[in-house]
C-alpha cells in the first residue's frame, strides 16, 4: 500500500478551477470521464437553447438573421474558438463537421501545391481523417496518393514530394501527443503544408496555431469544448494563405457576397469561404453559449489541473493495485493529451461494469478502456471514487458476471 | 370594387386545416408570409429542444447515442421526410446542407456515367446549386462542363451527352413549378440521370419521387417542413441506384460499419452512405419533432388549401386595386409552387413597410416582393388583413417616407 502525499480533499481545496463545475448541469451520482467523447451540458448552453428556440426562432422568426445577427454567428463563434487555440481573430470559422472541413482544406492545400501529389498521414490517425483523403483521391485520380508514416518518428519520414501533412495532434486511442511546433517547422522546411486535426486538443490544453506557424487546422467542438452532440466543427486558415485559398465546396455562404446572387461563384478571400450551406443556427448558438465557460479561465490552468488529475489517477491506481489487472498503454504524461488508455482483453465489459457503478468512461476496440480528464468539472475526489470502484470491479471480477450487449458508441 | 364570393370567415370556417395553427408557437399580431424562407416554431419542436438538451444530453450524456437512439436519427428523420415526398422507406437520410448534398450526389451521378461529362441546369436555378457544380468542376478538370438550359422548355433542350440534369422543382424567385414527371421521363429516355432540388417543394405540396422514377433528390427542412434555422437537409437516392452509388465525402458515418474502425473506407450500400461526419443531434431532434405536425395531414389537403389561399389573395388584391401598383411575375397558379412574386422598383422598401405593419414577407433582388403561402398556419383572414395593409401602404405610399437599411436576408 502506497501512502497518499495529498488527500483528494486537500487537492480539491487548493484547486483554482474547483468552482467551474457549478457552470455545468451534471447528473447526480455520476463521475464523467468521457468528456473527451461528449462534453457535458453547460448551464449557459441550456439557457441559450431555450432562448434561440423560443424567442429568436419562435418570436422573431426570419428577422433573427439580422436582429440576432445569426448571419455572423459562424465568424463570431470561430473567433471565440480561435482564442482557445492560439489563433488571432479572422482565421477560424465554425461550420459543418471535421470530415467535411478536412475535405475542403485538403482540396485547397493540394491546389496550392501544383507540383506535389502526396498527402501524408499516420496509419493510426482517426479513421474519418483517412477516409476523407481516400474519398478525395477518388475524384482527383491516380496522380495523387496517400502515404502512411509512423507516428513515432514523423520528422524522419518527411520528404519534399509531400504536398500536405495531415496529423491529429492527440491520438484518439492512446492519447499520444505530437509536437506541433517541431513537426510543423520541419515540414515547412521541405515545402510541406501542415493540416492539424485538433479534435482531442481544443479546450484540453494550450494550442498555439499562430505561434507554431501552422497552415491549416480543423477540430470538433463536442468534446472538450462542450458544444453538444454533433455540434458544428471549425476550420482554421492562416491569414497568409487566405488570399490564395480556394476550396471546392463552394456553397453560397462562402461567396464574397452571398445575397448578391451573382451568376457565378466568387470566393470570399477570407476563412469565411469555408462556409458552404446555411449554417445550423440552433446548434451553433448552443455552442456559442457553451464557450462562455472558458471566459475567465486559461488553457494553462486547465492543462495544469489535467496533469494533476492524471498523476493522482496513476497514484491512486497504483495504491489500489490496478496495475495487477490492466496495462497503461498511453505514453508518459508529458507526451500525451488529457486522456489515459488502459488495456484489458475484457475492456468492454469492464467499461460497462464501471458505468453501472456511475463512472462513465469509454471503450475503444479491441481492448482499450479510455479515460478522459476534463478539468472544468472533475474533482480529485471524483478520481478517488472512480479508481476505488474500478479496483473493486477488478478485484471481484464483477464484469465477468454481467451480460453486456455490445453496442455502438461515438467518439 | 369586386364583390367577395365567400368572406374570409366563411372560408376559414370550412377549412379542414384550420386547427393545425394551434400546433405552432406564433407571435401575436404577426401574419407570417415567409414560411417559404424559415418556417415558424412548432410547439412539439420547442418541447423536444428542451428534452434533447436538458434530459438527453444533460442527464444521459454519451449513453444517449444508444438509449435515445441518436445513432439512427438520420435514417429515422429521413424516412419521415420520405413519407412526405413520395419515397418508400430506406431512400432518404437527413444530413448536412443542400449544398453539400448536391456535391455528393453530383459526384456519384457522374461516376455512374463514365462516358458523359455534362451537368445541365437552368441559369435561374438557386445560386448555391450552380455554385456547387462550379466547385465540383474545379476538381474534375476541363473534360467536364456545366450547360445552362432555359426553364421554359427543358425537354426541348435535353440531349444524350448530358450526364446529370439538376433542377430545382420550384423557382425560388418566381415560384415557377416544373413538371417532375414528364421532365424525368424525357431525361431518362436520353440516358440522363435526374437530380431534383426540393427546397421549395417538400412540405408544400405532394411530391412523388418514386412514382416519377426520380433518380436523386435533395432538399432543405427549414422552409415548409419547419425544422428550424439551418436545420439539417436531406438526400434521396432511389433504391435501384444504392448498390452502385459512391459519393466522395466519405466520412466515417457513411462507412458500412463506422465503429469497426477499419483501415480503409468501405462504403455503406444504402442511402446512409451520405452521412459523413457526426450528425448534429440537437438540430436533427428538433427537426424530428417538427415533422410530427404532418402526422395526420395529407399533402393533398395542404396543396388544396394553398391554392385557395393564393386565389383568395389574388381576388382580394384585385378588389383592393393592388394591380394598379404592382405586377404579378409568377406564372398561373397551376404552374407554380406555394408562393407568389410581385414586382415593384421599390419592393425592398414596400416589404419593410409591410413588416412594420406586422406582415412578414420577403424581398428578392432586384425588385421582387415574395409571398409564401404556408397552409398549416395561415388563415384566410390573415390574407385579408395582409392585403388590406399592403393596399394601404401602396395607396398612401408610406414606404417612400420610411428609411430602411438594406440588410441581408436568407432564403
- Catalytic: which of A32, A103, A126, A373? A126
3-class secondary structure for B118-129?
EEEEECCCCHHH
ipTM score: 0.96
> Can B222 be counted among the known catalytic residues?
yes
- Whether A279 and A141 share a structural domain: yes
- Catalytic: which of B24, B176, B222, B234? B222
Whether residue B144 lies within 8 A of chain A, CB to CB, comes out as no
pLDDT score for A12? 98
- Whether A201 and A124 share a structural domain: yes
Residue B38 lies in a domain: no
Chain A residues inside the 8 Å CB shell of B264:
130-131, 134
A1–chain B nearest CA distance, Å:
35
> Can B380 be counted among the known catalytic residues?
no
φ/ψ (deg, to 5) at B59: -100, -40
User: By the 8 A CB rule, do B200 and B172 touch?
Assistant: yes
Whether residue B221 lies within 8 A of chain A, CB to CB, comes out as no
pLDDT averaged per 10 residues, chain B (length 411): 77 98 97 97 98 98 97 98 98 98 98 98 97 97 96 96 98 96 98 98 98 98 98 98 98 96 96 98 98 97 98 96 93 95 96 96 93 98 98 93 51 46
Interchain CB distance below 8 Å, A57 and B228: yes
pLDDT score for B2? 53
**What are the Cα distances from residue B68, in Å, to A288, B51, B56, B90?**
25, 11, 7, 20
pLDDT score for A25? 97
DSSP conformation class of B190: T
Chain B residues inside the 8 Å CB shell of A131:
250-252, 255, 264-265
Residue A3 lies in a domain: no
Last residue of one domain, picked from the residues B268, B294, B320: B294
Residue A409 lies in a domain: no
Residue A37 lies in a domain: no
Last residue of one domain, picked from the residues B294, B323, B347: B294
- Whether B326 and B387 share a structural domain: yes
CATH code of the domain containing B247: 3.40.640.10
| Residue A219, domain extent | 47-294
Provide the pairing of β-strand A162-168 with B359-360: unpaired
- Whether A69 and A127 share a structural domain: yes
- Whether B269 and B363 share a structural domain: no
- Catalytic: which of B79, B197, B268, B382? B197
- Whether B154 and B12 share a structural domain: no
Q: In chain B, which among 375-404 make CB contacts under 8 A with chain A? A: none
- The residue of B99, B106, B364 whose CB has the most chain A CBs within 10 angstroms, and thus the best one to mutate to test that interface, is B99
A89–chain B nearest CA distance, Å:
23
pLDDT score for B3? 58
First to last CA, chain B: 35
Interchain CB distance below 8 Å, A278 and B230: yes
> Can A305 be counted among the known catalytic residues?
no
Q: In chain A, which among 116-135 make CB contacts under 8 A with chain B? A: 123, 127-128, 130-132, 134-135
Cell (9 digits) for A159:
520528404
pLDDT score for B5? 76
Chains A and B: how many Cβ contacts under 8 Å?
287
Whether residue A39 lies within 8 A of chain B, CB to CB, comes out as no
Instruction: Using CB atoms, pick whichever of B135, B140, B231 lies closest to residue A250.
Output: B135
CATH code of the domain containing B376: 3.90.1150.10
Last residue of one domain, picked from the residues A264, A294, A324: A294
- Whether B310 and B379 share a structural domain: yes
- The residue of B35, B58, B107, B289 whose CB has the most chain A CBs within 10 angstroms, and thus the best one to mutate to test that interface, is B58
- Whether B246 and B377 share a structural domain: no
Interchain CB distance below 8 Å, B63 and A355: yes
Residues 6+ positions from A113 with CB-CB distance below 8 Å: A163, A164, A191, A193
> Can A197 be counted among the known catalytic residues?
yes
- Whether B225 and B308 share a structural domain: no
- Whether A282 and A307 share a structural domain: no
Whether residue B3 lies within 8 A of chain A, CB to CB, comes out as no
- Among B64, B55, B21, B54, smallest CA distance to B39 is for B21
Chain B residues inside the 8 Å CB shell of A374:
none
**What are the Cα distances from residue B393, in Å, to B295, B312, B316, B322, B386?**
39, 19, 15, 10, 11
Residue B408 lies in a domain: no
Whether residue A372 lies within 8 A of chain B, CB to CB, comes out as no
Whether residue B72 lies within 8 A of chain A, CB to CB, comes out as no
Burial of A113 (0-12, 13-18, 19+ CB in 10 A): middle
Residue B75 lies in a domain: yes
pLDDT score for A409? 47
- Whether A149 and A189 share a structural domain: yes
Residue B40 lies in a domain: no
- In this prediction, the residues of chain A whose per-residue pLDDT falls under 50 are 1, 406-411
How many Cβ atoms from other residues are within 10 Å of residue B105's Cβ? 27
Interchain CB distance below 8 Å, A96 and B96: yes
- Whether B72 and B183 share a structural domain: yes
Cell (9 digits) for A223:
468534446
Number of structural domains chain B divides into: 2
User: By the 8 A CB rule, do A98 and A128 touch?
Assistant: yes
A117–chain B nearest CA distance, Å:
14
Residue B1 lies in a domain: no
Amino acid at each position: 500500500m502506497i501512502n497518499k502525499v495529498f488527500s483528494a480533499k486537500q487537492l480539491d481545496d487548493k484547486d483554482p478551477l474547483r468552482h467551474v463545475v457549478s457552470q455545468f448541469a451534471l447528473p447526480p451520482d455520476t463521475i464523467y470521464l468521457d468528456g473527451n467523447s461528449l462534453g457535458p451540458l453547460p448551464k449557459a448552453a441550456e439557457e441559450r437553447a431555450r432562448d434561440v428556440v423560443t424567442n429568436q426562432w419562435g418570436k422573431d422568426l426570419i428577422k433573427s438573421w439580422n436582429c440576432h445577427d445569426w448571419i455572423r454567428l459562424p465568424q463570431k463563434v470561430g473567433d471565440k474558438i480561435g482564442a482557445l487555440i492560439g489563433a488571432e481573430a479572422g482565421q477560424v470559422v465554425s461550420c459543418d463537421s471535421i470530415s467535411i472541413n478536412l475535405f475542403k482544406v485538403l482540396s485547397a492545400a493540394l491546389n496550392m501545391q501544383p507540383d506535389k501529389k502526396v498527402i501524408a498521414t499516420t496509419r493510426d490517425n482517426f479513421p474519418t481523417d483517412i477516409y476523407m483523403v481516400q474519398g478525395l483521391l477518388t475524384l482527383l485520380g491516380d496522380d495523387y496518393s496517400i502515404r502512411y508514416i509512423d507516428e513515432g518518428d514523423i520528422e524522419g519520414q518527411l520528404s519534399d514530394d509531400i504536398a500536405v501533412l495531415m496529423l491529429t495532434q492527440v491520438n484518439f486511442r492512446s492519447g499520444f501527443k505530437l509536437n506541433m511546433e517541431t513537426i510543423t517547422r520541419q515540414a515547412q522546411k521541405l515545402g510541406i503544408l501542415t493540416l492539424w486535426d485538433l479534435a482531442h486538443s481544443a479546450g484540453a490544453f494550450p494550442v498555439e496555431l499562430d505561434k507554431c506557424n501552422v497552415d491549416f487546422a480543423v477540430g470538433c467542438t463536442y468534446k472538450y469544448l462542450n458544444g453538444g452532440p454533433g455540434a458544428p466543427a471549425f476550420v482554421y486558415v492562416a491569414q497568409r494563405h487566405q488570399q490564395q485559398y480556394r476550396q471546392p465546396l463552394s456553397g453560397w455562404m462562402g461567396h464574397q457576397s452571398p445575397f448578391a446572387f451573382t451568376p457565378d461563384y466568387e470566393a470570399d478571400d477570407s476563412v469565411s469561404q469555408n462556409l458552404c450551406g446555411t449554417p445550423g443556427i440552433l446548434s451553433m448558438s448552443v455552442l456559442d453559449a457553451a464557450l462562455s465557460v472558458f471566459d475567465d479561465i486559461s488553457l494553462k490552468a486547465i492543462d495544469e489541473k489535467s496533469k494533476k488529475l492524471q498523476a493522482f489517477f496513476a497514484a491512486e491506481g497504483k495504491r489500489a493495485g490496478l496495475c495487477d489487472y490492466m496495462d497503461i498503454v498511453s505514453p508518459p504524461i508529458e507526451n500525451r493529451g488529457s486522456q489515459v488508455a488502459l488495456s484489458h482483453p475484457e475492456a468492454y465489459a469492464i467499461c460497462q461494469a464501471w458505468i453501472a457503478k456511475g463512472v462513465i468512461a469509454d471503450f475503444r476496440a479491441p481492448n482499450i478502456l479510455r479515460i478522459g480528464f476534463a478539468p472544468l468539472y472533475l474533482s480529485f475526489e471524483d478520481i478517488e471514487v472512480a479508481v476505488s470502484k474500478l479496483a473493486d470491479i477488478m478485484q471481484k471480477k464483477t464484469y465477468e458476471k454481467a451480460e453486456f450487449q455490445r453496442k455502438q458508441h461515438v467518439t
